[in-house]
Amino acid sequence: MERLNQKALDTITDIVARHNGRLGPVKLMLHDVQHELGYIPFEAMEKISQATGASVAEVYGVVTFYTQFTLEPKGKHVINICMGTACYVKGAQELLNRVVELTKAPVNGTSEDKVFSVDATRCLGACGLAPVAIIDGRVYGNATQSKMVEEFIRFVVEQETKTKREERLSEVVS
């Protein structure tokens, strides 16, 4: 297992101190760690356990119960595709296949270049807009027809390719 750097450890310490003593601190702490680091490392579960008196197993139980928490670092952009019944009927599977093809991220996983994470989720409670996709927290309805999802992915891929090209060029020049 890779060790966390000091900055990440300090971030976890600050979050734990901020919420300790408040009601329901475990979930609040986990929420902030997820927000700041993009996932819940084991060190965070240990620190939260020590501060709150909950066992590491209990903290782990909370992490795995709520889909908002992840044990692995996510990519720069997170795409959720709803696979609930209403969305499925309106073409969510085809949309998911297309997203996987364009991002090169596996379902419920992250692309090798860490740019995209793709998650298939349960009903997001917006069935009237089916099929629904959420990109970086923003909801897109009628996602197969509007092509917004596809356009967003293409834009990000283009930008990333450009950035990598520029980085390589500056390495050659310097």
DSSP three-state, residue 137: coil
Cα 129 to its chain centre, rounded Å, is 22
Cα 136 to its chain centre, rounded Å, is 8
Question: What is the per-residue burial (b if ≥16 Cβ within 10 Å, else e) of 108-144?
Answer: eebbeeebbbbbbbeebebbebbbbbbbeeeebbbbb
Which span (4-12, 104-112, 119-127, 156-164) binds ligand FES, by CB under 6 A? 119-127
Beta bridge partners of 36: none
Q: Which is nearer to ligand FES, 26 or 95 (CB)?
A: 95
Contact between 50 and ligand FES per CB under 6 A: no
Contact between 86 and ligand FES per CB under 6 A: yes
Which span (1-9, 33-41, 81-89, 153-161) binds ligand FES, by CB under 6 A? 81-89
DSSP string, 81-136: EE-SHHHHHTTHHHHHHHHHHHH-PPBTEE-TTSSEEEEEES--S-GGG-S-EEET
Contact between 85 and ligand FES per CB under 6 A: yes
Q: With CB under 6 A, what is the number of residues at the site for ligand FES?
A: 12
How far is residue 160's CA from residue 150's CA, in Å, rounded to a whole number?
15
Contact between 12 and ligand FES per CB under 6 A: no
Contact between 132 and ligand FES per CB under 6 A: yes
How far is residue 115's CA from residue 45's CA, in Å, rounded to a whole number?
26
| Least CB distance to ligand FES at residue 128 (A) | 8
Contact between 133 and ligand FES per CB under 6 A: no
How far is residue 164's CA from residue 42's CA, in Å, rounded to a whole number?
31
Q: Which is nearer to ligand FES, 29 or 82 (CB)?
A: 82
Contact between 127 and ligand FES per CB under 6 A: yes
Q: Which is nearer to ligand FES, 44 or 130 (CB)?
A: 130
Contact between 124 and ligand FES per CB under 6 A: yes
Q: Residues in the site for ligand FES, rule: CB under 6 A? A: 82, 84-87, 123-127, 130, 132
